Each structure stands twice: as C-alpha cells, then as structure tokens.
Amino acid sequence: MSNENAIIYLETAQDDVAAVALTDSGDHMEFQSADEIWSQDAEKAPVVMPNGLLTGGLVVPAASGNDDEVDLSSLTVGLAGVETTVGASAGESVTRAVATDTHNINAFTLTSAGAIAILPGADGTAFSTTRGAAGGPPWIPTGSVEIAHIMLSSNVAAPVTAAEIKQVQNVSLERSGFPVWNVEPIRAENRAMGLAGVTFLSALPQIHSDDAGATTHGKKVYATYSTPIFAEVPDAYDWTPAEVTHSTSSKQVYGRVRGARSSGLSAATFGVIMGDGISDAMLAAKDKIRWVKYRPNRYATPSQYTNGSIGISRSNPADGNTTATVTVAAELATVDVVS
C-alpha cells in the first residue's frame, strides 16, 4: 500500500479545560473525562483532585470538657477541584442515641460549600459497619467529604473521649490522595478510542447517597487538564512509531546455555523537509512534551498516537533541502486506533 496520502500532525497548542467532574465508568476505579486525549505538556499537565482531606483536619475531644462536643483543627480540603481552607472550630455538637438504644455513629463531614456538618447515624443497640443500618454510619451527601466518625456507645451525656473518635482513611476519613491513581491521557481498548481520565488502584468506597442508599456513589473526582490542538507537519516523511522491542542474551553455564529476555522501547521518528531550519513553526515544539498523530491515509480514521519529548536534529546541505530528523522520546509505546 502506498503511503503518499499519509499525514503527520503535531500538537502545537492546547485548549484548557477548567476543573470538571469525571464520570465513573461503573467499576468505581476507572473515571472518564469528556475528551479523548489529555495534553502532557509540562505547563499544562493534568491536575487530578478528588474530593477529600488534603492537610490537617484532626478531630479531638472538646478542650472545654463539655459533654458531647468535639473540636476540629484547621484543614485544607479538595472540593469540586479546588483546594479549600477551613478554619479550626471548637465545641461542635454530636448526637447520642435515645430511648432504649445505646449506640450511634456520628459522621463529621464538610459540605460541598466547606461548612461543617455532623450527621448522626441510625440508633442501635450495637455498632454496625453498614451505612444506614441501626448503629451504623450515615450515608454522606454527594459532594460532601467525610472527616471522622464519632462512635458513641451510651445514651447518657458525657465528654467525648479520644477512643471514640475514628479517622481511618477509606473507612471513616476520605483523603483526596487515597486511593492513588494513574493518569490515562489516552485510552484505546481493542484499537477503539476511549476517553482520557484516571484509573484508581482500588475501588472508591460507595458511601455517598442522596436517597438513603437507593443509589450510591464514591467521592467526586475532578480534573483540570488541557486537550491538544493538532496541526499538520508539512513535507513530513518516513514515520516510524515507538515500539516495544525484545531481545535475548545468553550465558554459558556448566552443561548448558541459559538465556534471558529483555524488552525496550524505541523512540518514534520521522523526517521533515524544513524551510530555512530556523523560523519553521514546528521548531517551537523542540524539547517539549507533545503528542504526534500519524495517519497512513489522511482521509480515513486509522491513526497512531505517540506522546513524548520532541528532539529535532537539523541538516543544512549545500546542494539540497534543509531537513530535520524528529525523534519522539516516548514513555509508552505508540497507540494504534482504528475507530
């Protein structure tokens, strides 16, 4: 097949996307944006900020010694993709069980507006780990952040003790940075283009509900990112994608030869006939991290996407065109996309 209709595009600019909520794909681990590709430019790299505690936020028994009160240290929290500061607060009231019940779990939360809200769970005669159950923690409204549980096992007013306050991440405390995640600036499954986003290494706890548990959600996940803007690289030729290569080495041991496998990743490369080799627009990408898109037929969908640091080596012959060899030092192999 002739490649005369092939084309190479280079990321030449970016379109910024302000903090936006990502969508849970359904497994509570993979979250998607509305865009297929995120730029990896150093100045435009994605910033992922799930709702959750960033710093501070220690809940302790009330310094006043008053019954059924706790204090909160100052904190910073991720809310709707923005780092928000909340000042220290003293004398926050908690609720005990009443009548014949003895056990109650209060959830110390911050609302989506950054206000303190302490939510009592359902009363019971023993503690439960089930949200919404008697003696269990309450459901947390969507957009709120859980900071602590205050676990009270008596219906008689008394000072709250340190042992009754629990701040265990992923159980009674939502941290912004946990579970950890991998940024997926491009996704392609079975060579079909997906949507860029993040993948958490473990599923987000489904502790949020606005309808008493009929529908549940994990914490909200936000990202600020940029999408690449592509422009054609004129007079380009000889595209080679970044591929994983394999090799073997061997060692003579007594009685036989032992082999060992190793793998490596090659850089993507292509050539360009330049203008004067100095004022060419594509030189602005030199030494920067950029996406490169190659299509063997500019009129069809099949494409290859490669992201990496752009290196440009120019040649200025006396009797021919000024040319350049462009290398794309990629961290991941070129991604093939058919549809």
- Residue 7 resides in a domain: no
- Residue 222 resides in a domain: yes
- Residue 302 resides in a domain: yes
The verdict on 199 and 217 lying in the same domain is yes
Per-residue pLDDT band for 1 (boundaries 50, 70, 90) equals: low
Tokens describing residue 61 = 């028994």
The verdict on 30 and 62 lying in the same domain is no
pLDDT, tens digit, for every residue of 21-79? Answer: 999 999 999 999 999 999 999 999 999 999 999 999 999 999 999 999 999 999 999 99
- Residue 18 resides in a domain: yes
The verdict on 223 and 276 lying in the same domain is no
Whole-angstrom Cα distance, residue 100 to residue 320? 95
pLDDT of residue 4: 78
- Residue 284 resides in a domain: yes
- Residue 112 resides in a domain: yes
The verdict on 221 and 134 lying in the same domain is no
Domain of 154?
53-166
Three-state secondary structure along 188-255? EECCEECCCEEEECCCCCCCECCCCCCCCECCCEEEEEEEEEEEECCCEEEEECCCEEEEEEEEEECC
The verdict on 236 and 254 lying in the same domain is yes
pLDDT of residue 3: 73
Whole-model pTM: value is 0.89
The verdict on 150 and 62 lying in the same domain is yes
pLDDT, tens digit, for every residue of 134-152? Answer: 999 999 999 999 999 999 9
Domain count, the chain: 3
The verdict on 23 and 65 lying in the same domain is no
The verdict on 106 and 161 lying in the same domain is yes
The verdict on 58 and 36 lying in the same domain is no
- Residue 108 resides in a domain: yes
- Residue 139 resides in a domain: yes
